[in-house]
Amino acid sequence: MAAPVGKAARGWSVLALGLRSVVPRLPGLTQVRWSRYGPEYRDPQIDKEYYRKPLAELTEEEKYEQELRKTQLIKAAPAAKTSSVFEDPMISKFTNMMMKGGNKVLARSLVTQTLEAVKRKQFEKYHAASAEEQATIERNPYTIFHQALKNCEPVIGLVPILRGGHFYQVPVPLPDRRRRFLAMKWMITECREKKHRRMLMPEKLSHELLEAFHNQGPVVKKKHDMHKMAEANRALAHYRWW
């Protein structure tokens, strides 16, 4: 019963409120990424602590929020999002990018095997090292993963802009999400293409992550190449209008 109500409400709200997305709706452009939910749908609250707070501790706004949620429409939580304490949004995004053909089971097992491989390599190094070096060796696979991807993020990117019939590569500051996406994309592409046929993905990925953690390796080199290209094209920076 909620579905027809939702659709009717959405039809009404689109007419009344007009546009609901940031990109201006031009005649030649169609929205590629859109959701079936209207703007009045609120995001689901996954956090367990939110629901565990006793009634006495809530402030006025939170009480109002909770009352409001009883009547508002709420989107369904995605299947991959859990209230587990071990959940990491970056790992989930990385798993989704590794996934091929909807095989999330395989992608997730590859990522967990990579984390395990990173951990084991670091443990071996730890036991082989002397006491002073042991303090510097990082063994947590999650910190290594985050730091490695942060080291691979480019600061500035190139965008093709059409001027006078030619496309020019213009240096442009990238938003956060684009940088994270590029880092993960480069890492995955590098590991898929530049490995030996018989080498397994977790082994190659763990090797690349450890190299990126130390600011070495092909992915960090690609980031530096991107920066150099942007530096070379800095005369075209005026073509940017935003």
Partner 1 sequence: MLKRMTRLVSGARQLDPGRLLHRGPQAPQSLAAHPDNQVPDGSPRAVSCTSEGDPVRTFNEACLMVRRPALELLRYLKNTNFAHPAVRYVLYGEKGTGKTLSLCHVIHFCAKQDWLILHIPDAHLWVKNCRDLLQSTYNKQRFDQPMEASSWLKNFKTVNERFLSQIKVQEKYVWNKRESTEKGRPLGEVVEQGLTRVRNATDAVGIVLKELKSQSRLGAFRLLVAVDGVNALWGRTTLKREDKSPVAPEELALVHSLRKMVRNDWHGGAIVLTLSQTGSLFKPRKAYLPQELLGKEGFDALDPFIPILVSNYSPKEFESCIQYYLENSWLQHEKAHTEEGKKELLFLSNANPGQLERLCAYL
Applying CB under 8 A, which residues contact partner 1? 84-86, 112-113, 115-116, 119-120, 123-124, 127, 139-142
User: Considering beta carbons, is residue 50 or 64 the nearer one to partner 1?
Assistant: 50
What's the residue count for the chain? 242
| Amino acid at residue number 62 | E
User: Considering beta carbons, is residue 10 or 207 the nearer one to partner 1?
Assistant: 207
Q: How far apart, in Å, are the Cα atoms of 167 and each of 28, 154, 172, 196, 237?
A: 20, 22, 15, 36, 13
**Residue 208: Cβ within 10 Å count:** 24
Which of 47-50's residues contact partners 24+ apart within 8 Å by CB, and which partners?
47/83, 48/83
Q: What are phi and psi of 158, to 5 degrees?
A: -115, 135
User: Considering beta carbons, is residue 31 or 130 the nearer one to partner 1?
Assistant: 130
Output the smallest distance, CB 180 to partner 1, in A: 21
User: Considering beta carbons, is residue 65 or 138 the nearer one to partner 1?
Assistant: 138
